[in-house]
Structure 1
Amino acid sequence: MYRSLKLMHVVGFAMFLGSILAHIVTGRAQAGAADPSFVLYARETICLATRTLTVPGLILVIGSGLGMVWLTRGELLRQRWLKLHIALAAAIAATTVAIVVAVANLTFAARALSRGGGLEAFVVPEAVERYAGAVNILMILLVAGIGLLRPRLQARRVARVAE
Protein backbone atom coordinates (compact mmCIF):
# COMPACT_ATOMS: atom_id res chain seq x y z
CA MET A 1 0.00 0.00 0.00
CA TYR A 2 2.83 2.38 0.89
CA ARG A 3 4.42 1.86 -2.55
CA SER A 4 1.08 2.56 -4.25
CA LEU A 5 0.74 5.80 -2.31
CA LYS A 6 4.30 6.75 -3.21
CA LEU A 7 3.52 6.13 -6.90
CA MET A 8 0.37 8.25 -6.58
CA HIS A 9 2.51 10.96 -4.95
CA VAL A 10 4.89 10.98 -7.93
CA VAL A 11 2.03 10.93 -10.48
CA GLY A 12 0.30 13.82 -8.71
CA PHE A 13 3.55 15.77 -8.64
CA ALA A 14 4.04 15.13 -12.38
CA MET A 15 0.49 16.36 -13.08
CA PHE A 16 1.15 19.46 -10.99
CA LEU A 17 4.45 20.19 -12.78
CA GLY A 18 2.86 19.52 -16.17
CA SER A 19 0.16 22.05 -15.47
CA ILE A 20 2.78 24.66 -14.63
CA LEU A 21 4.52 24.05 -17.96
CA ALA A 22 1.19 24.33 -19.82
CA HIS A 23 0.43 27.50 -17.90
CA ILE A 24 3.78 29.14 -18.71
CA VAL A 25 3.83 28.19 -22.40
CA THR A 26 0.23 29.22 -23.05
CA GLY A 27 0.64 32.42 -21.04
CA ARG A 28 3.71 33.41 -23.05
CA ALA A 29 1.91 32.68 -26.34
CA GLN A 30 -0.96 34.93 -25.32
CA ALA A 31 1.23 37.73 -23.96
CA GLY A 32 1.74 39.60 -27.22
CA ALA A 33 -1.58 38.76 -28.83
CA ALA A 34 -3.62 41.64 -30.20
CA ASP A 35 -6.69 39.54 -30.99
CA PRO A 36 -9.05 39.38 -27.98
CA SER A 37 -10.45 36.03 -29.16
CA PHE A 38 -6.94 34.49 -29.01
CA VAL A 39 -6.41 35.94 -25.52
CA LEU A 40 -9.72 34.38 -24.46
CA TYR A 41 -8.75 31.03 -26.03
CA ALA A 42 -5.38 31.06 -24.24
CA ARG A 43 -6.92 32.01 -20.88
CA GLU A 44 -9.56 29.28 -21.21
CA THR A 45 -6.81 26.77 -22.06
CA ILE A 46 -4.91 27.78 -18.92
CA CYS A 47 -8.12 27.51 -16.91
CA LEU A 48 -8.72 24.02 -18.34
CA ALA A 49 -5.16 22.92 -17.45
CA THR A 50 -5.70 24.28 -13.96
CA ARG A 51 -8.96 22.35 -13.52
CA THR A 52 -7.71 19.08 -15.04
CA LEU A 53 -4.06 18.99 -13.92
CA THR A 54 -3.17 21.53 -11.23
CA VAL A 55 -6.00 20.97 -8.77
CA PRO A 56 -6.26 17.15 -9.17
CA GLY A 57 -2.46 16.84 -9.07
CA LEU A 58 -2.28 18.88 -5.88
CA ILE A 59 -5.09 16.85 -4.29
CA LEU A 60 -3.32 13.61 -5.26
CA VAL A 61 0.00 14.80 -3.81
CA ILE A 62 -1.55 15.97 -0.54
CA GLY A 63 -3.83 12.94 -0.21
CA SER A 64 -1.09 10.40 -0.91
CA GLY A 65 1.33 12.24 1.39
CA LEU A 66 -1.20 12.17 4.22
CA GLY A 67 -1.85 8.50 3.44
CA MET A 68 1.85 7.65 3.75
CA VAL A 69 2.04 9.45 7.10
CA TRP A 70 -1.11 7.64 8.30
CA LEU A 71 0.20 4.22 7.18
CA THR A 72 3.38 4.72 9.17
CA ARG A 73 1.31 5.84 12.18
CA GLY A 74 3.10 9.18 12.14
CA GLU A 75 6.58 7.61 12.23
CA LEU A 76 7.53 9.65 9.16
CA LEU A 77 6.93 12.86 11.09
CA ARG A 78 9.94 12.15 13.31
CA GLN A 79 12.20 13.00 10.39
CA ARG A 80 13.10 16.70 10.36
CA TRP A 81 13.50 16.87 6.60
CA LEU A 82 9.93 15.66 6.19
CA LYS A 83 8.59 18.36 8.50
CA LEU A 84 10.24 20.96 6.25
CA HIS A 85 8.89 19.13 3.19
CA ILE A 86 5.35 19.26 4.63
CA ALA A 87 5.63 22.93 5.64
CA LEU A 88 6.76 23.87 2.13
CA ALA A 89 3.98 21.73 0.62
CA ALA A 90 1.44 23.64 2.73
CA ALA A 91 2.89 26.95 1.51
CA ILE A 92 2.75 25.67 -2.09
CA ALA A 93 -0.90 24.67 -1.64
CA ALA A 94 -1.77 28.12 -0.24
CA THR A 95 0.05 29.91 -3.06
CA THR A 96 -1.61 27.64 -5.61
CA VAL A 97 -5.03 28.67 -4.30
CA ALA A 98 -4.11 32.33 -4.94
CA ILE A 99 -2.96 31.42 -8.45
CA VAL A 100 -6.13 29.41 -9.20
CA VAL A 101 -8.25 32.41 -8.18
CA ALA A 102 -6.10 34.68 -10.38
CA VAL A 103 -6.49 32.26 -13.31
CA ALA A 104 -10.27 32.37 -12.94
CA ASN A 105 -10.25 36.19 -12.72
CA LEU A 106 -8.03 36.43 -15.81
CA THR A 107 -10.41 34.15 -17.70
CA PHE A 108 -13.32 36.43 -16.74
CA ALA A 109 -11.26 39.46 -17.82
CA ALA A 110 -10.51 37.78 -21.18
CA ARG A 111 -14.22 37.12 -21.70
CA ALA A 112 -14.95 40.78 -20.98
CA LEU A 113 -12.14 41.83 -23.35
CA SER A 114 -13.59 39.68 -26.15
CA ARG A 115 -16.88 41.57 -25.67
CA GLY A 116 -15.17 44.95 -25.97
CA GLY A 117 -14.05 45.46 -22.36
CA GLY A 118 -10.82 47.11 -21.31
CA LEU A 119 -7.51 45.78 -20.08
CA GLU A 120 -7.79 47.17 -16.53
CA ALA A 121 -9.31 43.90 -15.25
CA PHE A 122 -6.03 42.13 -16.12
CA VAL A 123 -3.68 44.21 -13.95
CA VAL A 124 -4.13 42.74 -10.45
CA PRO A 125 -4.74 39.07 -11.36
CA GLU A 126 -1.78 39.09 -13.78
CA ALA A 127 0.49 40.43 -11.02
CA VAL A 128 -0.76 37.76 -8.60
CA GLU A 129 -0.32 35.06 -11.24
CA ARG A 130 3.18 36.24 -12.17
CA TYR A 131 4.66 36.77 -8.70
CA ALA A 132 2.85 34.00 -6.83
CA GLY A 133 3.73 31.69 -9.71
CA ALA A 134 7.43 32.55 -9.47
CA VAL A 135 7.45 32.02 -5.70
CA ASN A 136 5.57 28.75 -6.18
CA ILE A 137 8.08 27.45 -8.71
CA LEU A 138 10.97 28.20 -6.35
CA MET A 139 9.21 26.43 -3.47
CA ILE A 140 8.35 23.47 -5.73
CA LEU A 141 12.00 23.09 -6.75
CA LEU A 142 13.03 23.26 -3.10
CA VAL A 143 10.43 20.72 -1.94
CA ALA A 144 11.32 18.39 -4.83
CA GLY A 145 15.00 18.64 -3.97
CA ILE A 146 14.29 17.91 -0.32
CA GLY A 147 12.00 15.02 -1.22
CA LEU A 148 14.47 13.45 -3.64
CA LEU A 149 17.83 14.09 -2.00
CA ARG A 150 17.20 13.97 1.72
CA PRO A 151 15.98 10.35 1.93
CA ARG A 152 18.96 9.20 -0.16
CA LEU A 153 21.44 11.10 1.98
CA GLN A 154 19.82 9.74 5.13
CA ALA A 155 19.94 6.16 3.78
CA ARG A 156 23.67 6.56 3.03
CA ARG A 157 24.30 7.88 6.53
CA VAL A 158 22.41 4.96 8.09
CA ALA A 159 24.36 2.49 5.90
CA ARG A 160 27.68 4.02 7.01
CA VAL A 161 26.70 3.82 10.67
CA ALA A 162 25.62 0.18 10.23
CA GLU A 163 29.01 -0.82 8.76
Structure 2
Amino acid sequence: MQDLILSLAEYPDPFWKRFKVTEDDLDGFHHVNNAVYLKWLDATVWEHTRAVGLSEQACIEMNRGMATVRHEIDYLSSAFLDDEVVVYNWVATNDGKLRASRRFQIARLGDGKTILRAKSDYVCTNLTTGRPTRMPDIFRTAYDVKIPNET
Protein backbone atom coordinates (compact mmCIF):
# COMPACT_ATOMS: atom_id res chain seq x y z
CA MET A 1 0.00 0.00 0.00
CA GLN A 2 2.83 2.41 0.79
CA ASP A 3 4.17 2.03 -2.78
CA LEU A 4 0.75 3.03 -4.15
CA ILE A 5 0.55 5.98 -1.77
CA LEU A 6 3.99 7.25 -2.74
CA SER A 7 3.30 6.74 -6.45
CA LEU A 8 0.32 9.13 -6.30
CA ALA A 9 2.33 12.00 -4.79
CA GLU A 10 2.99 14.87 -7.19
CA TYR A 11 6.35 15.73 -5.62
CA PRO A 12 9.03 13.50 -4.11
CA ASP A 13 9.51 12.85 -0.42
CA PRO A 14 6.08 13.82 0.93
CA PHE A 15 4.91 13.67 4.49
CA TRP A 16 1.49 12.04 4.29
CA LYS A 17 -1.47 10.96 6.39
CA ARG A 18 -4.43 8.71 5.51
CA PHE A 19 -8.07 9.42 6.29
CA LYS A 20 -11.27 7.45 5.78
CA VAL A 21 -14.44 9.43 5.07
CA THR A 22 -17.11 9.01 7.75
CA GLU A 23 -20.75 10.12 7.93
CA ASP A 24 -19.68 13.07 10.08
CA ASP A 25 -17.48 14.33 7.21
CA LEU A 26 -20.38 14.64 4.76
CA ASP A 27 -22.46 17.67 3.90
CA GLY A 28 -26.05 17.85 2.64
CA PHE A 29 -24.99 16.69 -0.82
CA HIS A 30 -23.38 13.53 0.61
CA HIS A 31 -19.81 14.47 -0.20
CA VAL A 32 -17.04 15.67 2.08
CA ASN A 33 -17.70 19.16 3.40
CA ASN A 34 -15.16 21.85 2.45
CA ALA A 35 -14.28 22.48 6.10
CA VAL A 36 -13.32 18.82 6.55
CA TYR A 37 -10.65 19.07 3.85
CA LEU A 38 -9.12 22.01 5.74
CA LYS A 39 -9.30 20.00 8.96
CA TRP A 40 -7.40 17.16 7.24
CA LEU A 41 -4.73 19.57 5.97
CA ASP A 42 -4.30 20.94 9.49
CA ALA A 43 -4.11 17.47 11.06
CA THR A 44 -1.42 16.49 8.56
CA VAL A 45 0.59 19.63 9.30
CA TRP A 46 0.44 18.96 13.05
CA GLU A 47 1.53 15.36 12.58
CA HIS A 48 4.41 16.46 10.36
CA THR A 49 5.38 19.15 12.88
CA ARG A 50 5.50 16.58 15.67
CA ALA A 51 7.49 14.19 13.45
CA VAL A 52 10.24 16.79 12.97
CA GLY A 53 10.51 17.32 16.73
CA LEU A 54 8.34 20.41 17.11
CA SER A 55 5.52 19.20 19.33
CA GLU A 56 3.08 21.67 20.78
CA GLN A 57 4.98 21.52 24.08
CA ALA A 58 8.33 22.18 22.39
CA CYS A 59 6.86 25.24 20.66
CA ILE A 60 5.30 26.49 23.90
CA GLU A 61 8.67 26.17 25.65
CA MET A 62 10.29 28.26 22.87
CA ASN A 63 7.28 30.62 22.84
CA ARG A 64 7.27 30.32 19.04
CA GLY A 65 4.94 28.81 16.47
CA MET A 66 4.05 29.00 12.81
CA ALA A 67 0.69 30.70 12.28
CA THR A 68 -1.30 30.37 9.09
CA VAL A 69 -1.79 33.67 7.28
CA ARG A 70 -3.25 32.40 3.99
CA HIS A 71 -4.80 29.29 2.43
CA GLU A 72 -5.39 28.75 -1.29
CA ILE A 73 -7.47 25.65 -2.00
CA ASP A 74 -8.43 24.20 -5.37
CA TYR A 75 -11.22 21.64 -5.06
CA LEU A 76 -10.88 19.37 -8.10
CA SER A 77 -13.30 16.57 -7.24
CA SER A 78 -15.12 15.12 -4.24
CA ALA A 79 -14.67 12.36 -1.70
CA PHE A 80 -17.61 10.27 -0.52
CA LEU A 81 -18.57 8.01 2.36
CA ASP A 82 -15.99 5.26 3.00
CA ASP A 83 -13.46 6.69 0.51
CA GLU A 84 -9.90 6.49 1.72
CA VAL A 85 -7.78 9.54 0.95
CA VAL A 86 -4.19 10.53 1.46
CA VAL A 87 -3.18 14.07 2.36
CA TYR A 88 0.34 14.87 1.23
CA ASN A 89 2.28 17.91 2.33
CA TRP A 90 5.64 19.41 1.48
CA VAL A 91 7.43 22.45 2.83
CA ALA A 92 7.66 24.55 -0.33
CA THR A 93 9.48 27.63 0.96
CA ASN A 94 11.23 28.67 4.14
CA ASP A 95 13.08 31.97 4.21
CA GLY A 96 14.77 31.03 7.50
CA LYS A 97 13.63 34.31 9.03
CA LEU A 98 9.86 34.74 9.25
CA ARG A 99 7.91 33.02 6.47
CA ALA A 100 7.34 29.51 5.19
CA SER A 101 4.78 27.81 2.95
CA ARG A 102 3.48 24.32 2.30
CA ARG A 103 1.95 22.63 -0.72
CA PHE A 104 -0.74 20.00 -0.31
CA GLN A 105 -2.35 17.33 -2.42
CA ILE A 106 -5.25 15.07 -1.51
CA ALA A 107 -5.64 11.88 -3.55
CA ARG A 108 -8.45 9.35 -3.41
CA LEU A 109 -6.90 5.90 -3.01
CA GLY A 110 -9.70 3.99 -4.77
CA ASP A 111 -8.95 5.49 -8.17
CA GLY A 112 -5.76 7.47 -7.56
CA LYS A 113 -7.43 10.74 -8.52
CA THR A 114 -6.15 14.00 -7.08
CA ILE A 115 -9.19 15.72 -5.58
CA LEU A 116 -7.58 18.79 -4.00
CA ARG A 117 -4.46 20.93 -4.24
CA ALA A 118 -3.66 23.69 -1.79
CA LYS A 119 -1.00 26.08 -0.63
CA SER A 120 -0.71 27.61 2.83
CA ASP A 121 1.52 30.46 3.96
CA TYR A 122 2.81 30.76 7.52
CA VAL A 123 4.53 33.37 9.66
CA CYS A 124 6.57 32.64 12.76
CA THR A 125 4.89 34.19 15.78
CA ASN A 126 5.54 34.87 19.41
CA LEU A 127 2.92 32.68 21.13
CA THR A 128 2.44 35.15 23.98
CA THR A 129 1.91 38.30 21.93
CA GLY A 130 0.74 36.80 18.64
CA ARG A 131 3.12 39.12 16.81
CA PRO A 132 5.43 38.04 13.99
CA THR A 133 8.95 37.29 15.15
CA ARG A 134 12.16 35.79 13.80
CA MET A 135 12.04 32.00 13.67
CA PRO A 136 14.35 29.96 15.90
CA ASP A 137 17.16 27.95 14.30
CA ILE A 138 15.25 24.68 14.77
CA PHE A 139 12.43 26.02 12.56
CA ARG A 140 14.96 26.69 9.79
CA THR A 141 16.33 23.16 9.88
CA ALA A 142 13.23 21.13 10.79
CA TYR A 143 11.08 22.73 8.10
CA ASP A 144 13.42 21.96 5.24
CA VAL A 145 12.19 22.70 1.74
CA LYS A 146 11.08 19.62 -0.21
CA ILE A 147 10.02 21.26 -3.49
CA PRO A 148 12.93 22.69 -5.49
CA ASN A 149 12.61 26.04 -7.23
CA GLU A 150 9.33 26.97 -5.54
CA THR A 151 8.54 30.68 -5.71
Give the TM-score normalised by structure 2.
0.27
Structure number with the higher helix fraction is 1
Give the TM-score normalised by structure 1.
0.26
